[in-house]
Amino acid sequence: MSSTVAPFPEGFLWGGATAANQIEGAYAEGGKGLSIQDVMPHGIMTPRAEGPTEDNLKQVAIDFYHRYAQDIALFAEMGFRTFRFSIAWSRIFPRGDEAEPNEEGLAFYDRVLDECEKHGIEPLVTISHYETPLHLAEQYDGWVNRDLIGFYERYARALLSRYGHRVKYWLTFNEINSVLHAPFMSGGINTPKDQLSASDLYQAVHHELVASALATKVAREVAPQAQVGCMILAMPAYPLSPDPDDVMAALTTDRTNLAFGDIHVRGEYPGYYLRRLREAGVELQITDEDRALLKEYTVDFVSFSYYVSICETADPAKRVVGQGNIFGGVPNPHLQASEWGWQIDPVGLRVVLNQFWDRWQKPLFIVENGLGAKDELVEVDGVTTVVDDYRIAYLNDHLVQVGEAIADGVEVMGYTTWGCIDLVSASTAQLSKRYGFIYVDRDDEGSGTLERYKKKSFDWYAEVIATQGASLRQG
């Protein structure tokens, strides 16, 4: 017998999330320069291409660049209180190292914000979401180069000065910890991963962390009412067995990700992280000014994506690596997986929320969660739709666990489902891996009308929002 869930707090920010390169298209319009995504036609599965190729679905994506008003109106129809989107760095600074921003690019996001305002939707803006200007990757080797800090600061300043009076919530880097695993996509690092030294990789991480603190500093100066958060790919690691060595292995893996929150919240490198660097023979170039920036400009809140949990073991014979969000992990024998092999673990979301809250005591924002699945368009009572009960079940079960965490005393600011409208996948660059409440008629070959259709989950989510979660079903 299922029961209902206690209503979520007043002011809870319900909504959906996207990223520029996965929805906008118009890859060469409005003065936009190329980004690293324009040479990643198949996501992270294959090496980068020389230049843009027509098989890259992101060239058109779902054409949000021209259809944003219609799409935001649909989000409003579901009752969204917030909409997370990213700004394409190469629309604002086409090469990344110019002195002045591109006015046409800035004006586009003015129009997007106008639509949000019209519908009373609070924007949640990611400054950098896997779309470093290609020129910065090719000429500077991305974040390995310290110059990127200055270019990013100029970019963040352009955004915060222009939009700071109308955007309250800002995220500095999407899944900042993923640079360790996907250095080109996440850090614009052109050197192939297998040739990248640990020193260069951790130096790139350091540059991003300093840049993130600088964005907070700029926000304090030009938009004091703004709140700045870090964004971490959360993936709790459970020990595969109660063997203490497995428990330690799980803790070590967990800390790979937790370090990014520790530094953003506490403003300094934790001891276990410094030990890891020492053992890898890495000597970071850190200035006194870097240290001071990290310490002074810590984040207002911590946001994260959550899709999967993993297991960890110290036994090399059992270290089979499964598929996961950007990086794998040892599969959990107790869990089922999605069609893409991502293991589904709603309780893991409650685990993460409690762990982060206990550790940092900062408000938490779940800015990505959702199920990538193949959908089929059907006619129901003369209406074209998708009967996506599997997506409803996934989101329901995760939201029930968010409710449990709130009852545990965790401060949760909001929840934005990933890909509230179908978009191009980051890891596989497919459109058939659909997350949305809104179906977009476009397939993996790029064919389709780009028409939008409401799925069954559209009305379901609208009801969840309207009832503040009381319509969710427990157990």
Q: Which residues form the catalytic set?
A: 175, 368
Q: Kind of pairing, strands 122-128 and 227-234?
A: unpaired
Question: For ligand BG6, which is the closer residue by CB, 305 or 313?
Answer: 305
Could you give the CA distance from residue 178 to residue 134 in angstroms, rounded to a whole number? 18
Question: For ligand BG6, which is the closer residue by CB, 65 or 130?
Answer: 130
Task: Specify the stretch interacting with ligand BG6 by CB under 6 A; choose among 90-98, 283-291, 398-406, 427-435.
Answer: 427-435
Is 155 an interacting residue with respect to ligand BG6 (CB under 6 A)?
Answer: no
Is 418 an interacting residue with respect to ligand BG6 (CB under 6 A)?
Answer: yes
The least distance separating ligand BG6 from the CB of residue 46, rounded to whole angstroms, comes to 14
Question: For ligand BG6, which is the closer residue by CB, 167 or 426?
Answer: 426
The least distance separating ligand BG6 from the CB of residue 16, rounded to whole angstroms, comes to 12
Is 16 an interacting residue with respect to ligand BG6 (CB under 6 A)?
Answer: no
Is 425 an interacting residue with respect to ligand BG6 (CB under 6 A)?
Answer: yes
The least distance separating ligand BG6 from the CB of residue 400, rounded to whole angstroms, comes to 21
DSSP character string of 9-66: PTT-EEEEE--HHHH---TTSTT---BGGGG-TTTTSSPPPSS--TT-GGGTTT-HHH
Q: How far is CA 46 from CA 53, 60, 429, in A?
A: 14, 20, 11
Task: Specify the stretch interacting with ligand BG6 by CB under 6 A; choose among 111-119, 348-356, 399-407, 426-434.
Answer: 426-434
Give yes or no for a contact between 89 and 128, defined as CB atoms under 8 angstroms apart: yes
Could you give the CA distance from residue 224 to residue 467 in angstroms, rounded to a whole number? 33
The least distance separating ligand BG6 from the CB of residue 402, rounded to whole angstroms, comes to 18
Phi, psi for residue 262 in degrees, rounded to 5: -55, -45
Question: For ligand BG6, which is the closer residue by CB, 145 or 257?
Answer: 257
Alpha helices in 267-388, H assignment, sequence order: 271-279, 288-296, 346-360
What is the pattern of x (binds ligand BG6, CB under 6 A) and - over residues 102-141?
----------------------------x-----------
Residues 163-222 that bind ligand BG6 (CB under 6 A): 174-175
Between vectors from CA 430 to CA 193 and to CA 237, what angle results, nearest 5°? Answer: 55
Q: Which residue is nearest to ligand BG6 (CB)?
A: 427
Sign of CA pseudo-dihedral 352, 355, 359, 363? positive
Question: For ligand BG6, which is the closer residue by CB, 34 or 326?
Answer: 326
Is 19 an interacting residue with respect to ligand BG6 (CB under 6 A)?
Answer: yes
The least distance separating ligand BG6 from the CB of residue 456, rounded to whole angstroms, comes to 21
Give yes or no for a contact between 119 and 112, defined as CB atoms under 8 angstroms apart: no
Could you give the CA distance from residue 158 to residue 338 in angstroms, rounded to a whole number? 40
Question: For ligand BG6, which is the closer residue by CB, 240 or 426?
Answer: 426
Task: Specify the stretch interacting with ligand BG6 by CB under 6 A; choose among 93-101, 110-118, 209-217, 423-431.
Answer: 423-431
Q: Is 307 helix (H, G, I), strand (E, B) or coil?
A: coil
Question: For ligand BG6, which is the closer residue by CB, 58 or 433?
Answer: 433
The least distance separating ligand BG6 from the CB of residue 435, rounded to whole angstroms, comes to 7
The least distance separating ligand BG6 from the CB of residue 117, rounded to whole angstroms, comes to 25
Q: How far is CA 234 from CA 133, 216, 326, 391, in A?
A: 26, 22, 11, 20
Q: Kind of pairing, strands 438-440 and 452-454?
A: antiparallel
Q: How many helices (H) and strands (E) does the chain have?
A: 14, 16
The least distance separating ligand BG6 from the CB of residue 129, rounded to whole angstroms, comes to 6
Residue 384: in which H helix or E strand, if any?
strand 383-385
What is the pattern of x (binds ligand BG6, CB under 6 A) and - over residues 273-312?
--------------------------------x-------
Binds ligand BG6 by CB under 6 A, chosen from 207, 433, 454, 455: 433
Is 372 an interacting residue with respect to ligand BG6 (CB under 6 A)?
Answer: yes
Which residue shows structure tokens 């030294």?
197
Residue 445: is it exposed, middle or buried by C-beta count within 10 angstroms (0-12/13-18/19+)?
Answer: exposed
Binds ligand BG6 by CB under 6 A, chosen from 145, 417, 427, 457: 427
Number of residues lying near ligand BG6 (CB under 6 A): 16
Could you tell me which of 435, 298, 323, 414 has the C-alpha nearest to residue 19?
A: 435
Residues 313-332 that bind ligand BG6 (CB under 6 A): 325-326
Give yes or no for a contact between 132 and 126, defined as CB atoms under 8 angstroms apart: no
Task: State the residues that interact with ligand BG6 by CB under 6 A.
Answer: 19, 22, 130, 174-175, 305, 325-326, 368, 372, 418, 425-428, 433
